[in-house]
Amino acid sequence: MSSTEFLIQGIIKAFELIINLNPYIFSITGVSIKVSGTATILATLTAIPLAFALAFLDFRGKQALITLVNTGMGLPPVFVGLFIFVMLVPAGPFGLLNMIFTPEAMIIAQYILVTPIITGISLAAIKAVPKPIIETVYTLGGSTKDAVIATLMEARFGIITAILAGLGRALAEVGAILIVGGNIAYTGSVGGIGEGASYTRTLTTAITSETSKGDISTSIALGIILISLNLSVNLLATFFQGRD
């Protein structure tokens, strides 16, 4: 078999797997969406108030926090994975929680990765709201709370973009969740390929293991789904940027 044929066969089989709603592949996709989606929601709940606090309040340690956020935006995922791993292994400080190699551990890792990204991009969007807008709120009789709401309205598309950037990053991430999640699927095959349904196996971690096992068509199928998800997130982000 030539290498082109090999590739074409791989792609054809990949589409078959997707069209037939292969249970193994769909359980993996489900775990990806659940882990990255939950991490992004939790990160958003932290990041937006944090960004507003950094923009509106003066407090001790604010500069240090901004530095932390900026550093966090470029944090290497494997480092975060290693850190959470050390915390959660049975001998570690939080070993009693029994959380290593669970979806929850993966959510924590991605939460740590994504929170600074959403905070940083939101803060930039908030700071881009012209000062006269805020002053107009005050001169028309508004309170600081009204100023925060008005800023949220002005920066809304930028903030949505920040959240989508965080989600995109989480979906594409592999280093951290591989270490703390362990890429686990249940034993027993579902749908004729691979192992059983996914427990902590995501699109990205499955691609690494399927590829090293030599199951190229499964990898390609997973890759197509991953790219489609990321593309949708990016298209959505572009749409909201266009609204500005």
Partner 1 sequence: MQELFRIENLCMAFGEKEVLRNINLTIRRGEIFALIGPSGAGKTTLLRILNLFEKPTRGNLKFNGLANEGEINNIRRRMSLLFQTPAIFKASVFDNVAYGLRVRGIDKMTIENKVKSALNIVGLEGKEAQKARTLSAGEAQRMAFARAIVYDPELLLLDEPTANLDPANVAKIEEVIKRIRSERGTTIVIATHNIPQVRRIADRVGILLNGELIEVNTKEGIFMAPEDARSEAFLKGEMIY
**Is residue 200 within 8 Å of 184, Cβ to Cβ?**
yes
Distance CA 153, CA 41 (A): 19
CB of 55 to partner 1, least distance (A): 17
Q: 């997973």: which residue's tokens?
A: 222
CB atoms within 10 A of CB 108: 21
Region of 34-42, 45-53, 68-76, 137-145 interacting with partner 1 (CB under 8 A): 137-145
Q: Which positions from 148 through 177 interact with partner 1, judged by CB under 8 A?
A: 150, 153-154
Q: Which is nearer to partner 1, 78 or 133 (CB)?
A: 133
CB of 231 to partner 1, least distance (A): 28
Q: Which is nearer to partner 1, 35 or 155 (CB)?
A: 155
Provide the mask over 96-135, with x wherever binding to partner 1 is found by CB under 8 A and - wherever it is not: ----------------------------------x-xx-x
CB of 127 to partner 1, least distance (A): 16
C-alpha R_g of the chain: 21
Helical ranges in the chain per DSSP H: 3-19, 23-56, 62-73, 77-88, 103-127, 131-139, 144-154, 156-172, 175-181, 203-213, 216-243
Q: Which is nearer to partner 1, 91 or 140 (CB)?
A: 140
Nearest to 223 by CA among 215, 192, 193: 215
For residue 107 the two structure tokens come to 């959510």
Candidates 70, 98, 143, 232; binder of partner 1 (CB under 8 A) is 143
Q: Which is nearer to partner 1, 138 or 239 (CB)?
A: 138
Region of 24-32, 105-113, 139-147, 216-224 interacting with partner 1 (CB under 8 A): 139-147
Instruction: Count CA atoms closer than 13 A to 65's CA, side-chain side.
Output: 16
Distance CA 225, CA 8 (A): 17
Q: Which is nearer to partner 1, 120 or 158 (CB)?
A: 158
DSSP, res 200:
S
Q: Which is nearer to partner 1, 152 or 172 (CB)?
A: 152
Does residue 242 belong to the site contacting partner 1 (CB under 8 A)?
no
Residues in the chain: 244
Does residue 142 belong to the site contacting partner 1 (CB under 8 A)?
yes
Which residues of the chain form contacts with partner 1 (CB under 8 A)?
Answer: 130, 132-133, 135-143, 146, 150, 153-154
